[in-house]
Copies of this chain bind each other. A is one copy, B any other.
Amino acid sequence: MATSTVENYLKHILLLSEGGEELVPMGALAEALAVVPGTVTTMVKSLADSGHVEHRPRQGVRLSAEGRRVALNVLRKHRLVETFLVNVLKMDWATVHAEAEQLEHAISDEVLDRLDALLGHPTTDPHGDPIPSRQGKIDSQVYATLATCVVEKGLRVVRITEQSAEFLQFADLNGLQPGASLRVTERNLAAGLVSVKKTTGRPLILSLAAAGKILVQPAR
């Protein structure tokens, strides 16, 4: 069995590689895992030995098929647990990430399946992040963000790509949850600001950085 350290390395490689194909630089991985780069080199070599990744020295890491399988399973656990914590235990959107970070390594596939059924086989978690299927399929649709979308068209929030409690708290407070309807009224690249009008509530101004974390699609 993979230890939770191994599971974490694989999960973060997956997350950093847009689906598991690209080479992830060692430095980026070290940053994501909050360890020094030397540690990553050591661990990645052992991950390569166990067949979970391919290591290109001085270039980066890539998941093997097996590594991808494990990583997707961990991600599935993470996101289903988050969904459970929010939908069933009514926990706060913003805090469930840290909880799930622990539980994802402790939950068995059996419990996972039952949780999945209890929740009605959701396809996204409370932040709109896609939940990999049991078979390891994951929605990889590319969405526009509030920083890149067309102006003055009706939009629907599909996902918030940021897991820090502060940002999620802020988003929640301002009605930026998946499903929310809104439109961008103005975008000023020079000032780095985006103005947003929600169907309900007062207008909102976001930095481009913040706007880039809100994924949207055209309202149907």
Contact = CB atoms under 8 A, between A and B. Distances in A.
Interface in A92-149: 95, 99, 102-103, 105-108, 110-111, 114-115, 118
A89 interface: yes
A36 interface: no
Contact of A88 (B102, B103, B105, B118): B118
Q: How many chain copies does the complex carry?
A: 2
A110 B88 contact: no
Interface of A: 85, 88-91, 95, 99, 102-103, 105-108, 110-111, 114-115, 118
Given A89-B115, A91-B110, A106-B106, 12 more contacts: A88-B118, A89-B111, A90-B114, A95-B110, A99-B108, A99-B110, A99-B111, A102-B107, A102-B108, A103-B103, A105-B106, A106-B107
